[in-house]
Structure 1
Amino acid sequence: MATRDPFRPADATACALARKLIAEARFGALAVLRDGAPFVTRIALAPGADGLPVTLISDLAPHTAALRALPDCSLLVGEPGPKGDPLTHPRLTLQARAVFATCDAERSALRETYLERQPKARLYVDFADFHFVRLVPLSGHLNGGFGQAFRLTAEDLGA
């Protein structure tokens, strides 16, 4: 017996909700492969000028080395609401590729945008071992609540 696919193709409402979750995310769970095994950590986020998620990570963090070795990663965003079952609140899982900012102009632009959302990062943003990383979506899975599961493409997510 064939299993029914629970994911529906994205519609305009699902795309808007996914972009909203990215735009509002201050933190997320980042999953990488480290030494061949899954490794998940919480990271701070801000949307870049293009609306895609940006993080600031240190060379001291194990996930930084993992992303340099294999830039494919996954990011979960979406916070539970103040009431009800946390699993009924919208959340978005992105399959993404980490792209480290390498030029001074890009770093400068990301710095300003990032600090608007994460002002406490002013304490360390200019340390030499910190790097801005854009998490460019390849695809996504949106769970908008009970019975609201959508499969998203990079284009649906604005990538």
Structure 2
Amino acid sequence: MAIDPIRPTDTEARTLARTIIDGAYFGALGVLEDGNPLVTRVAIATDDDGCPLTLVSDLSLHTRCLRKHDSASLLLGEPGPRGDPLTHPRLTLSVRAACVDKTQDRVERYLAHQPKAKLYIDFTDFHFIRLAPLQGYLNGGFGKAFRLTAGDLHSLTPPGGTAEGLNKS
């Protein structure tokens, strides 16, 4: 009988997942293009409730894919400056993507985290996409694998937000 490498999810795992989301500047976004996987790098910030948020152009292929199929995957977590990149924590989220209004609050939050976006954030073909987590897979380093439910992902309140709103659009 195979041993399940997934550990029981605990507060430490939930806290690490929240830290990865809040600290992410970039992520790998996986979408479906005509049924085939496509991965692209996107800039990330968080909405007021801690939900990952990205700014996309209508001209990009991944935006067109998300408009056709709102299920996606988001990989967050950068390797540290030294050592084996696979030993550093990373979080893969299954997400539901939704276009949301470009409110003043979102613009300010996004620019505070991604200041270079000031060059194009006001372009009419750019929109915010909320990437609402449905579940997550946390690799906290060697031998530290966890499955996170949507409840796990909103069990910790991010700074300046309320955890209950994580999956709102």
TM-score range, shorter chain: over 0.9
Shift of 1:4: 2.5
Report the equivalent of 2:104. Answer: 108
Report the equivalent of 2:21. Answer: 22
Contact preservation (8 Å) 1:9, 1:152: no
2:114 to 100, 112, 118: 118
Report the equivalent of 1:89. Answer: 88
Identity %: 59
User: Where do residues 144-159 of structure 1 align in structure 2 (5 Å cutoff)?
Assistant: 144-158=140-154, 159=166
State the SS of the aligned residue for 2:152. Answer: coil
- For residues 2 and 141 of structure 2, the distance between their equivalents in structure 1, rounded to whole angstroms, comes to 21
1:74 correspondence with 2:73: yes
The amino acid that maps onto 1:108 is Q
- For residues 89 and 74 of structure 1, the distance between their equivalents in structure 2, rounded to whole angstroms, comes to 19
Deviations 1:118-147 (A, max 9, x none): 011011101110000111000000000011
Report the equivalent of 2:36. Answer: 37
Q: Runs of at least 4 residues of structure 1 off by over 4 A?
A: none
Report the equivalent of 2:160. Answer: none
Corresponding residue pairs, total: 155
State the SS of the aligned residue for 1:84. Answer: coil
The amino acid that maps onto 1:37 is N
Shift of 1:6: 1.5
- For residues 151 and 126 of structure 2, the distance between their equivalents in structure 1, rounded to whole angstroms, comes to 29
State the SS of the aligned residue for 1:110. Answer: helix
Report the equivalent of 2:4. Answer: 5
Shift of 1:5: 2.2
- Structure 2 residue ranges without an equivalent (≥5): 155-165
- For residues 109 and 13 of structure 1, the distance between their equivalents in structure 2, rounded to whole angstroms, comes to 30
